[in-house]
């Protein structure tokens, strides 16, 4: 262990690993400090990667040189593409992973680099004159760093609830880091409290799978990563679907007062899209049955994650309601469900680079910023790692805008709007959704990250070759005229129609390159919309990018309503564009801010 690094990453979750790996790709001296070396890359919730909006994030991380997709492919046991018939831009590949193999894959990737992994507890971050300089370990050792990236998840005042039982800590088996938490509180950052929950874990062999609906993966099995590092899938297995019934609901309703969530113990705000089974039954009493996904924890692991029944009921009630469910009558529970409540830092305290506005060189990424999900955490880790590295190298920062992709939307939403519930990505959050598909992440990002030194040449060369091949395909075929529907038409015009029959077209233009044909078809289909959006983006670019100086005191701007003043003051928008996306901010308010800026500048 040295006593000086360029980048110090605290926390070895999905955000921490991406952050450290990005710094490593930039060839900076990096260390990753984790309380437990063995839990690096741990999936702490359900063992799956991807989903609507989330897959887009993973693909973007991959295109930027990150590791999440690669680790997914090393551990994927069931692949399914969602939304196959709703348009290419909203198609999403979701992968069930072997929980242990995922962690192993991440650890293997990290160990394959010169990132130094340090198993220790961080007790303090030293800040001098508003700049973070070093971390202090529980061993008493002091380590200096040019940048410190904090990715410690839910460790801030984490409390677990199960019925009336209350335990401190963010995750079963992990101790909470009290001293570091105290340090963070002493910085007087704006904080909020959130909650989340998990279901019980059940032995696979105790389930009657014959009585459930089997859901096999798709064939041929696709890949999450485009890097081509994995060449062979591990064993593929099925997931299963079962449902709750009226008996289940009765057991839960009868005991709902015993649930930590309903006893008034928990004040944190839970996600609206991830309710506990208690919530579902309470809020939708007319629904007689809820779906449960039985997700295997691994290939040779006797454990499943029953997705859909997260709960904070006492143990005996959990067992009773679970055993009313079809196929789960003799379920053996290895670990009971619980709710977790934790503090997070209001991400409006961050810059676009995820560096704290008030503490230079200290970056926050992941769940600590109020997000939920591995993918959301990893995306932030990547961007914090990238921008901390660029700052150390004295290069211009790399900011992804809302029209660059889902990562841009994620960070922009966080730092401008803050969070009111654990933030999860959905495709509907992206106003330029038709510009981003899981298949065009490379075209949007790889060049950008390669130029800054975050994409390795092997990946970039493969990408360049692929683009070259597409260019040639396009040149060769684009102008072809085909005769279909009793008339001759240009291939381009034909592809623009809804749902063109690509197999038929492939025959007509005599190609076997379905992949590039599909790409061309999608290009033709979305082209008009994308052009229109790009025009709009360009038209507003200059005014929206106008920087709002930090000295601007919104409360002093005459003519703004009290409500708008308050919203602007808490959100601290960095540009005119950011301000204009806030609720209640009218064009007239934007005018007043512009005038105020000009006044300051004179």
Partner 1 sequence: MSIIYALATPPAQSAICVFRVSGEGCLDALSKLFSSELVEPRYFYKTEMLNNGAFIDSVAVVFFKGPKSFTGEDSFEVYAHGGLAVMSKIVEVFDAIGFEEAQPGEFSKRAFLNNKISLSQAEAVSDLISASSKEEASRVSLVLGGDFESRVFDFSGQLDALRVLVEGEIDFTDEDEVFIQNLAGLGADVSRLSAEFCSFAGACSSRKDRFNKPRVLIAGPPNSGKSSLFNSLLSRDRSIVSSIAGTTRDLIDSELVLQNIVLTLGDSAGVRDTDDLIEGAGINISFDEIKKSDLVILVFDEETESSVSFFRELLGEQKYLLVYNKIDVSDKRPLGFDLFVSAKEMDGLNELRKILDERLSVDEIEDLTYLVRERHINIFSEVSSRLDFVSSSIEANESLDVVAENLKACRDLLAEVVGIKTSDELLGEIFSSFCIGK
DSSP 1-14: --SEEEEEEE--SH
Here's the x/- map for partner 1, 432-471, by CB under 8 A: it reads as: -xx-------------------------------------
Q: Record the tokens describing residue 333, joined without a space.
A: 């529970």
Helix or strand or coil: residue 49? strand
* Window of 17-25, 306-314, 458-466, 471-479 that interacts with partner 1 by CB under 8 A: 306-314
Q: From the list 5, 293, 449, 494, which residue makes contact with partner 1 (rule: CB under 8 A)?
A: 293
- When asked if residue 595 is in the footprint of partner 1 (CB under 8 A), the reply is yes
* Window of 140-148, 349-357, 452-460, 558-566 that interacts with partner 1 by CB under 8 A: 558-566
Q: From the list 175, 529, 537, 575, which residue makes contact with partner 1 (rule: CB under 8 A)?
A: 529
Residues 38-57 that bind partner 1 (CB under 8 A): 46, 51-53
Minimum Å gap between C-beta 569 and partner 1 is 18
422 φ/ψ angles, rounded to the nearest 5 degrees? -50, 125
- When asked if residue 2 is in the footprint of partner 1 (CB under 8 A), the reply is no
Minimum Å gap between C-beta 400 and partner 1 is 18
Residue 296: DSSP 8-state: E
Q: From the list 30, 317, 427, 516, which residue makes contact with partner 1 (rule: CB under 8 A)?
A: 427
- When asked if residue 94 is in the footprint of partner 1 (CB under 8 A), the reply is yes
| 539 vs 457: CA distance, rounded Å | 35
* Window of 79-87, 221-229, 335-343, 467-475 that interacts with partner 1 by CB under 8 A: 79-87
Q: From the list 253, 265, 397, 594, which residue makes contact with partner 1 (rule: CB under 8 A)?
A: 594
Q: Total number of residues binding partner 1 (CB under 8 A)?
A: 61
Bridge partners for 149 per DSSP: 9, 363
Q: From the list 201, 203, 497, 565, which residue makes contact with partner 1 (rule: CB under 8 A)?
A: 497
- When asked if residue 575 is in the footprint of partner 1 (CB under 8 A), the reply is no
* Window of 60-68, 340-348, 471-479, 497-505 that interacts with partner 1 by CB under 8 A: 497-505
- When asked if residue 569 is in the footprint of partner 1 (CB under 8 A), the reply is no
Helix or strand or coil: residue 497? coil
Q: Please, which residue, 130 or 528, has the CB nearer to partner 1? A: 528
* Window of 139-147, 254-262, 447-455, 523-531 that interacts with partner 1 by CB under 8 A: 523-531
Buried b (16+ CB within 10 A) or exposed e, 219-247: eeeebbbbbebbeebbebebbbbbbbeee
| 460 vs 454: CA distance, rounded Å | 10
- When asked if residue 591 is in the footprint of partner 1 (CB under 8 A), the reply is yes
| 431 vs 530: CA distance, rounded Å | 11
Q: Are 368 and 4 in contact (CB under 8 A)?
A: no
Q: From the list 2, 291, 330, 481, which residue makes contact with partner 1 (rule: CB under 8 A)?
A: 291
3-class secondary structure per residue, 130-169: CEEEEEEECCCCEEEEEEEEECCCCCCCCEEEECCEEEEC
- When asked if residue 498 is in the footprint of partner 1 (CB under 8 A), the reply is yes
Q: Please, which residue, 287 or 507, has the CB nearer to partner 1? A: 287
Residues 347-366 that bind partner 1 (CB under 8 A): none
- When asked if residue 232 is in the footprint of partner 1 (CB under 8 A), the reply is no
Minimum Å gap between C-beta 116 and partner 1 is 38
Bridge partners for 193 per DSSP: 343
Q: Are 97 and 305 in contact (CB under 8 A)?
A: no
Checking DSSP bridges between strand 338-345 and strand 191-198, what pairing results, if any? antiparallel
Here's the x/- map for partner 1, 245-284, by CB under 8 A: it reads as: --------------------------xxxxx----x--xx
> Which residues, including other chains, have CB under 8 Å from residue 40's CB and lie 6 or more apart?
12, 16, 17, 32, 34, 103, 106, 107, 110, 117
- When asked if residue 165 is in the footprint of partner 1 (CB under 8 A), the reply is no
Minimum Å gap between C-beta 503 and partner 1 is 16
- When asked if residue 193 is in the footprint of partner 1 (CB under 8 A), the reply is no
- When asked if residue 374 is in the footprint of partner 1 (CB under 8 A), the reply is no
Minimum Å gap between C-beta 489 and partner 1 is 16
Minimum Å gap between C-beta 372 and partner 1 is 11
- When asked if residue 117 is in the footprint of partner 1 (CB under 8 A), the reply is no
- When asked if residue 583 is in the footprint of partner 1 (CB under 8 A), the reply is yes
| 196 vs 158: CA distance, rounded Å | 11
Q: From the list 560, 568, 576, 579, which residue makes contact with partner 1 (rule: CB under 8 A)?
A: 560
Helix or strand or coil: residue 490? strand
Q: Please, which residue, 39 or 253, has the CB nearer to partner 1? A: 253
DSSP 235-251: ----EEEEE--HHHHHH
- When asked if residue 602 is in the footprint of partner 1 (CB under 8 A), the reply is yes
Buried b (16+ CB within 10 A) or exposed e, 272-304: eebbbbbbbbbeeeeeeebebbbbbbbeebebb
- When asked if residue 85 is in the footprint of partner 1 (CB under 8 A), the reply is yes
Residue 356: DSSP 8-state: B
- Alpha-carbon Rg for the chain in angstroms: 25
| 267 vs 181: CA distance, rounded Å | 19
Q: Record the tokens describing residue 232, joined without a space.
A: 């062979």
State the residue for tokens 């930027």.
64
Cα-Cα-Cα-Cα dihedral sign, residues 493, 496, 498, 503: positive
DSSP 456-477: -HHHHHHHHHHHHHHHHHHHHH
Q: Record the tokens describing residue 73, joined without a space.
A: 């492919």
- When asked if residue 558 is in the footprint of partner 1 (CB under 8 A), the reply is yes
Q: Please, which residue, 391 or 402, has the CB nearer to partner 1? A: 402
Q: From the list 63, 95, 417, 455, which residue makes contact with partner 1 (rule: CB under 8 A)?
A: 417
Minimum Å gap between C-beta 293 and partner 1 is 6
- When asked if residue 485 is in the footprint of partner 1 (CB under 8 A), the reply is no
**Interface contacts to partner 1, rule CB under 8 A:** 46, 51-53, 82-83, 85-90, 94, 271-275, 280, 283-284, 287, 290-293, 307-308, 310, 417, 426-429, 431, 433-434, 497-499, 525-526, 529, 539, 543, 557-560, 583, 586-588, 591-592, 594-596, 598-599, 602
């Amino acid at each position: 262990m040295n006593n000086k690094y360029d980048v110090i990453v605290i926390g070895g979750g999905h955000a921490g690993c991406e952050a450290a790996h990005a710094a490593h790709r930039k060839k900076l001296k990096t260390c990753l400090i984790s309380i437990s070396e063995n839990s690096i890359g741990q999936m702490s919730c359900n063992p799956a990667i991807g989903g609507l909006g989330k897959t887009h994030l993973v693909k973007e991380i991959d295109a930027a040189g990150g590791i999440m997709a690669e680790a997914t492919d090393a551990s994927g046991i069931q692949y399914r593409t969602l939304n196959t018939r709703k348009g290419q831009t909203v198609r999403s590949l979701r992968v069930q992973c072997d929980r242990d193999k995922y962690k192993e894959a991440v650890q293997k990737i990290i160990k394959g680099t010169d990132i130094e992994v340090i198993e220790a507890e961080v007790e303090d971050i030293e800040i001098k004159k508003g700049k973070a300089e070093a971390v202090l370990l529980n061993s008493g050792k002091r380590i200096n760093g040019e940048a410190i990236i904090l990715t410690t998840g839910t460790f801030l005042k984490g409390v677990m609830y199960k019925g009336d039982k209350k335990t401190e800590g963010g995750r079963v088996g992990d101790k909470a880091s009290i001293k570091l938490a105290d340090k963070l509180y002493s910085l007087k950052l704006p904080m909020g409290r959130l909650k989340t929950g998990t279901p019980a874990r059940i032995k696979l062999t105790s389930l009657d799978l014959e009585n459930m609906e089997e859901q096999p993966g798709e064939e041929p099995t696709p890949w999450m990563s485009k890097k081509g590092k994995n060449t062979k899938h591990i064993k593929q297995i099925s997931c299963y679907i079962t449902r709750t019934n009226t008996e289940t609901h009765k057991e839960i309703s009868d005991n709902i007062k015993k649930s930590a969530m309903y006893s008034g113990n928990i004040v944190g705000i839970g996600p609206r899209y991830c309710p506990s089974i208690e919530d579902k039954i309470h809020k939708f009493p007319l629904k007689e049955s809820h779906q449960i996904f039985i997700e295997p924890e691994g290939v040779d692991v006797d454990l499943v994650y029953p997705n859909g029944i997260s709960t904070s009921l006492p143990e005996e009630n959990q067992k009773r309601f679970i055993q009313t469910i079809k196929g789960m009558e003799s379920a053996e529970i290895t670990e009971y469900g619980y709710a977790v409540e934790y503090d997070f830092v209001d991400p409006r305290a961050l810059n676009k680079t995820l560096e704290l506005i008030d503490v230079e060189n200290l970056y926050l990424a992941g769940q600590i910023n109020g997000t939920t999900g591995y993918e959301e955490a990893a995306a932030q880790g990547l961007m914090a790692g990238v921008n901390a590295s660029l700052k150390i190298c004295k290069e211009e920062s790399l900011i992804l805008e809302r029209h660059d992709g889902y990562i841009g939307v994620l960070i922009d939403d966080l730092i401008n709007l803050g969070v009111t519930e654990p933030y999860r990505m959905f495709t509907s959050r992206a106003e330029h959704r038709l510009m981003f598909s899981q298949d065009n992440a490379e075209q949007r990002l790889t060049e950008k990250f390669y130029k800054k030194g975050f994409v390795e040449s092997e990946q970039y060369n493969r990408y360049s070759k692929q683009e070259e091949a597409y260019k040639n395909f396009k040149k060769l075929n684009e102008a072809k005229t085909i005769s279909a529907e009793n008339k001759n038409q240009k291939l381009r015009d034909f592809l623009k129609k809804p749902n063109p029959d690509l197999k038929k077209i492939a025959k007509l233009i005599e190609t076997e390159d379905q992949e590039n044909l599909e790409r061309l078809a999608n290009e033709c289909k979305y082209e008009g919309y994308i052009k229109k959006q790009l025009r709009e983006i360009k038209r507003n670019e200059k005014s929206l990018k106008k920087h709002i100086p930090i000295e601007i005191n919104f409360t002093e701007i005459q003519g703004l309503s009290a409500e708008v003043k308050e919203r602007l003051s808490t959100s601290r928008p960095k540009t005119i564009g950011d301000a204009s996306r806030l609720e209640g901010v009218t064009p007239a308010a934007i005018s007043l801010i512009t005038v105020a800026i000009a006044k300051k500048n004179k």
